[in-house]
Amino acid sequence: MKRLILLSFAFLFAATLKAQPFQFVKTGNLSSWGAATLTDVSVEDFLQNSTSLPLSSVKWEATSVTMPTGWQYYVCDPGACQQPGVSNANFYLDTGRSLFSVHFMPNNIPGNGSMTVKVYETANPSQFITKTFSVKATGVSVADLHKHAVNIYPNPATDWISISAPKEMGEASIEIFNLLGRRVRFEKMNASNDRPVISMEDLPRGNYLVRITPRTGQPITKTIQKN
């Protein structure tokens, strides 16, 4: 009798595994943040098809959506980016990993948004997986976000520095000033030179100001030290 019960549990477990041939890759619920002035704030995961064949009819449904009045949302599933407000869609799931992302459009309104989705094969809707995607849109400006995203390495510097910035910043000029206000370096940042390396070798030791001015937007100023 005991062996029969164990075999029954093993059969049910195997059937469950067979009924769920895909999973979200990242563990737990997901969150992201951005400025309310951005076009959209998104959070993403991947759907992993663990079988050797594509799945021809998979469906996602938004079972819960909370967001401030004035916000909109849209979902990009492995098949397409849906129109704003679409709460379910069928899609084709290829083998391997496929991107799945949820996008909230804050429309300059700070707040929090959350969506819970369930995903299942249309032939077996009782077997599904769920995931909650959450975002926070703050009153911080895009310029402030860019400031935090600009990195200067190494700092302190000896012979050179490398500057990286988000692609959304676009073209920008880079100026380095000594503490007397004299400009000692000038460089351009663009698509063909998106991580410029600037020589510091011949500059005296001390502190310097690095000013990065996007073609559109406010200048970003950071301090570096030359050893």
Read off the CATH number of the domain in which 198 is found. 2.60.40.3080
Under 8 Å CB-to-CB from 21, ≥6 apart: which residues? Answer: 49, 50, 51, 55, 121
Per-residue pLDDT band for 215 (boundaries 50, 70, 90) equals confident
Asked whether residue 93 is domain-assigned, the answer is yes
Of 112-121, 172-181, 187-196, where does the model show the most confidence? 112-121
Q: Name the domain boundary from 138, 166, 198.
A: 138
Separation CA 170–CA 211 (nearest Å):
15
- Rounded mean pLDDT of the chain? 85
**Co-location of 148 and 111 in the same domain:** no
Containing structural domain, residue 202: 142-226
Per-residue pLDDT band for 118 (boundaries 50, 70, 90) equals very high
**Co-location of 187 and 204 in the same domain:** yes
Asked whether residue 121 is domain-assigned, the answer is yes
Q: Name the domain boundary from 93, 109, 138.
A: 138
**Co-location of 33 and 103 in the same domain:** yes
pLDDT of amino acid 142: 54
**Co-location of 27 and 133 in the same domain:** yes
Three-class DSSP category at 78: coil
Instruction: Locate 19 and state its tokens.
Output: 């009924």
Asked whether residue 200 is domain-assigned, the answer is yes
* pTM reported for the whole predicted model: 0.58
Q: Name the domain boundary from 138, 155, 175.
A: 138
